[in-house]
Chains A and B, each alone.
Chain A
Amino acid sequence: MSMQAAAPVPAHAATSSAAARATGLGKVYGQGETRVVALDSVSVEFGRGRFTAIMGPSGSGKSTLMHCMAGLDSVSTGSAQIGDTELSGLNDRQLTRLRRDSVGFVFQAFNLLPTLTALENITLPMAIAGRRPDQQWLDTVVATVGLSGRLSHRPAQLSGGQQQRVAVARALASRPEIIFADEPTGNLDSRAGSEILGFLRESVREWGRTVVMVTHDPVAAAYADRVVFLADGRLTDELLAPTAEGVLDRMRQFDALARTS
């Protein structure tokens, strides 16, 4: 449908400066009979200051890719890099420090500690690191996500949308190298969901943050600058400046392909 969809472009050629990069990344679970290949030699770059969506049907390996890139899971073969840091050589302690200092997370659900207030949740990564938050930046982030009046509330006193906004604020507050969002709107109604996606896009456009989002929702993917498609643990396609229809169309093609092959 769209112009860019004409031919798959090699991923690493797409951008000049990458915030994160996978090269021949493989991930295998189990051994022998129960061996499952979740990622099969995936090479992809996530451009700095870009909003990238990872799409694919369930079981395609999109979450595994995110987990490996974010240092949540170990890499079986190949390499995963954040900035100039190679993840596959790091031990647990180094990975933890990397996640703390260079990565922000927004999960689908259960993003917040119920015992801490919204503000405490937002500043938690910095508290763990023993760093003082940059107050001015913090105020900006809080104001942008519209939480100013609710900072002393506990998660139980916030709606689902507000909780996710706290999570987004947390991911932004420490100014990490890259933010990973795993189905951030999966549990929200469409209005709250579009708010969250709006914030993510704004953070990329206004502040030059880097966001990588895993989703299976074409509408959500349309907020991104670029969509990469995964199937059976392999990178199959990508789409620049996507629209919801474009993404949906591309996915239908995959479905058809899968059925005929």
Chain B
Amino acid sequence: MLRTALRNVFAHRARLVMTALAITLGVAFVCGTLVFGDTVAQALRGASARSFKDVAVSVQAEPQSNPDSGADGTRSTALTSDLVDKVRTVPGVTSVHPMVDGAATLAAKDGRPLNADNNWQNLATNYAPDTPGTDQDSRFPLSAGRAPTAGDEMALDRRTAEKAGYHIGDPVRFAIQGPTLTKKLVGIVTTDDPRVTVGGTLALFDTSTAQQLFLQAGRFDELDVSSAPGTDNQELTSRIRALLPAEGITVTSGAQLANEQAELIAESTKALTRMLLAFAGIALFVGVFVIANTFTMLIAQRSRETALLRAIGASRRQVVRAVLTEAGLLGLGASAVGLALGIGIATAMRPVLNAGGAGLPDGPLVISTDALVRSLLVGIGVTVLAAWLPARKAAKVAPVEALTAVDLMPPRRSMVLRNSLGGLLTGVGVLIVLYVSTRKDGADTNLKAAALGSVLVPTGMIVIAPLLSQPLIRLAGAVTTRLFGVSGKLAMENALRNPRRTAATASALMIGLTLITGLSVAGSSMNAALKAAAVAGLTADYKVSISGSATIDPALGAKVAEVPGVAESVPVASAVLVARGRGATLTGADPRRLATVSDLKFSSGSLADLGPGKIVLSDRLAKDTGLSKGDTFQGTVGDSRNKRELTVVGVYRQTRAFGGAIGTMDDVLPHAFFGGKLDSILIKAASNRNASGLDQDIRQVLGNSPLIRVQNQEQLTKEQSGASDVMLNMMYGLLGMTVVIAVFGVINTLAMSVFERTREIGLLRAIGLDNRGVKQMVCLESVVISLFGTALGIGTGIFLAWACGSLSKASLPQYETVLPWARLGLFLLLGLAIGVLAAVWPARRAASLNMLRAINAQ
């Protein structure tokens, strides 16, 4: 039987091409993901091992507040120069790198801040030569210039210098917390610290400057200790640990640190790989429909042959096995190609992602046998599984069918069972999802219900699709008949002819479009809500804030007010408020001035009622605490020791900008975060000076520090939507693969239909339908099927996104389902385009059929 199977694969190779492509793409997706995951993990592991290569022992000190500097927030550590010198003298130690860690935000040469929103990536540390007095720090190889050695000098890494446009000798502007500093660029180094390679910056100073900037003179954050070859590093670790105070200092061996980091990396790449595999799974699931459809059709065409095999003595099991062997061979061949394609994808992925700023380290391609075997097994497994039901159908062919002379139309099997099951699944799914739509918060049970419903509804739709295809395709057919006359009518009739096949073809498309639509609707709703939330209640023209942990001096508020064109400058501070056991943010501002830059909806009281000891609460906090207007309670502001009596004088609708409660500046500022510093300054522009340029003037007054952000309303809302747009585009890309496989399914179905209807097409040509009409007929059938799948997908996607979106209401009151009409219209057009494109090849085949042979075909 193997020979029969092999012969069958080759005999039908043209018809198996689309199926093979579907399998190949799915396997390529899986294989590409696995190989890429392995490659990235290895490269990251290599990078981390390299960075720990010379570290025998690592000493890390916990930051503590600086006793000498009072309340201004600078740090100190227990790691003093004396201790460093002690470590240096331990036998076996060859060199010690004492390090100071900080963050500095740079301004580019043209003044714009570099990566100010991800302050944690903007590293600043000391350049510590391996041996004191020399010029080489092996962690940061110099590529140009020299090491910084004086207080007014600094070095940058190559990437940062390029991004900022600085050259050796240039003055570099940067800010750490307060005022802007300037130092001369004397050296350029290279680094592969991942924080820098993914988009951060690196600034280097000589040790005493770094200590002065970030720590305290004579103190360090970390030591990297190198040892002589042959030293027992474990023992060295213990010895150094014994030497140092236990309080505030951790001593770890370099090997252990490398291991810990490698584990961390493995975890994070595993998460990425798992997500990609989920999408590969969806693609393969869609592939199942294409494969099953193909085998159903092949077996139907071959029923006479099968009957002959049965008549001459093949058992049912042998027939099944022959079909499954055929599927296995197809799966094997297609998967093998998929492996090659997958490796190609994995190779191309890093440059592509890095071009998008992912900053993945270089490294060799890792192709593990494990990844290849797993991809291959998945491909073969999916193919054989998908061919299982058609194979069983083949075995049911009665031997006597070989002897009947006429082609019997296969009897329509009853679909009562299928329709009942589909109706049940869809119904239960819809009920669950409708229940979810009445919930307002993302509690665990609600999320589980939403997930269950979101799986049940599309599954039910797939089962019931043949039933749905009747009215929906008739509807589409009425349009095509109207527009295209007889070829439109024939297209509809052909699409209706085999509801199972039409449904399976459309279902493949539906799955991708359900996901894409659902994500789009959720994304646009979430975006709109976030945007609305970002500026809700805020009417200020500009908001001045500062990146990272830096603060704004209260005196700056007055300075900004003097800028020509600023009508109102409202300094804002915030502190922690604890009311009846609930923590919230207490915003402090001058009530009269705050009213000019805000638009809060009060259900009772107003901003004007504020005064010493008098606060207004957001409705959320009022509800959580049970407080209302007129209540007086014992609360704490800022430090937990600062208890005081507070009176509620009003309640307003909560907004993102004004979270918990509002009080007077005098009540809040002394207890504010970072001790007496402002949080932001809200600015109302004079009506005659709303034009551009004001933000630059404000920047200048504030010392043009790269840490300062002056954002208008548009920038504030954009800040909220950026991330989800990137996410959505990535999802589109990943789900695109699913849609491509579904398109292969449509092509496949159409090609099979044309093949099966050779005689009909011949007859139509004989009685006067021209080539164009034949092409039109095939094309319209394709369009009708594609639009059916697209419409089902869009409908299901909208429904699920609407219902499950309500769960965001609790955390985001502004959430409302926003249908991205333009995008949905685009998806429908995509469905139309898929229909037209998928029909190109089958239609051409249909039109080029030899009419006489077609009429006489048996």
Contacts and interface: CB of A to CB of B under 8 A. Distances in A.
Interface of A: 67, 70, 72-73, 92-93, 96-97, 99-101, 105, 107, 110-116, 124-125, 127-130, 156, 170
Contacts of B768: 96-97, 99-101, 125, 128-129
B769 A128 contact: yes
B9 interface: no
B312 interface: no
Interface stretch (B98-106, B756-764, B815-823): B756-764
A122 B283 CA distance: 46
B431 interface: no
Interface centre among A72, A73, A92, A113 (most CB of B within 10 A): A113
A72 B852 contact: yes
Contact of B851 (A72, A114, A124, A128): A72
Interface in B300-336: none
A105 B852 CA distance: 13
Interface centre among B765, B767, B770, B855 (most CB of A within 10 A): B767
B770 A113 contact: no
Nearest to A64: B852
B416 interface: no
Interface in B742-784: 759-760, 763-771, 773
16 contacts: A70-B766, A92-B770, A96-B768, A96-B769, A96-B771, A97-B768, A99-B766, A113-B760, A114-B409, A115-B493, A125-B767, A125-B768, A127-B489, A130-B485, A130-B486, A156-B409
B493 A105 contact: no
A112 B760 CA distance: 8
Given A97-B770, A107-B855, A111-B763, 18 more contacts: A73-B852, A92-B770, A92-B771, A96-B770, A96-B771, A99-B767, A100-B768, A100-B769, A112-B763, A115-B494, A115-B496, A116-B490, A124-B767, A128-B485, A128-B486, A128-B764, A128-B773, A130-B486
A127 B485 contact: yes
A56 to B, nearest CB: 18
Nearest to B493: A115
Contacts of B718: none
Contacts of B490: 113, 115-116
Contacts of B486: 124, 127-128, 130
B820 to A, nearest CB: 39
Given A124-B486, A128-B486, A105 B766 contact: yes
A130 B494 CA distance: 20
Interface in B471-524: 485-486, 489-490, 493-494, 496-497
Given A92-B771, A113-B490, A127-B485, A72 B497 contact: no
Interface residues of B, number: 24
A113 B756 CA distance: 13
Nearest to A171: B767
A111 B760 CA distance: 8
Interface of B: 409, 485-486, 489-490, 493-494, 496-497, 759-760, 763-771, 773, 851-852, 855
A128 B766 contact: no
A92 B850 CA distance: 12
A100 B760 CA distance: 16
Contacts of A97: 768, 770
B492 to A, nearest CB: 9
B852 A128 contact: no
A111 B762 CA distance: 10
Given A124-B486, A127-B486, A156-B409, A116 B767 contact: no
Given A107-B855, A127-B485, A128-B486, A115 B497 contact: yes
Nearest to B847: A92
A115 B490 CA distance: 8
Contacts of A111: 763
Contacts of A127: 485-486, 489
B770 A116 contact: no
Contacts of B769: 96, 100, 128
A93 B773 CA distance: 11
A186 B486 CA distance: 30
A9 to B, nearest CB: 31
Contacts of A116: 490, 493
Contacts of A129: 768
B763 A93 contact: no
B852 A67 contact: yes
Interface centre among B497, B763, B764, B768 (most CB of A within 10 A): B768
B234 to A, nearest CB: 82
A16 to B, nearest CB: 29
Contact of A170 (B767, B773, B855): B767
Nearest to B771: A92
Contacts of B494: 115
A70 B855 CA distance: 14
Contacts of B760: 110, 113-114
Nearest to A92: B771
A100 B772 CA distance: 14
Nearest to A70: B766
B855 to A, nearest CB: 6
The 5 closest A-B pairs by CB, nearest first: A100-B768, A115-B493, A96-B770, A127-B486, A99-B768
Contacts of B765: 96
Nearest to B481: A127
Contacts of B485: 127-128, 130
Contacts of B496: 115
Nearest to B857: A110
A101 B768 CA distance: 8
A113 B852 CA distance: 17
A146 to B, nearest CB: 22
Contacts of B770: 92-93, 96-97
A116 to B, nearest CB: 7
A251 B763 CA distance: 32
A72 B766 contact: yes
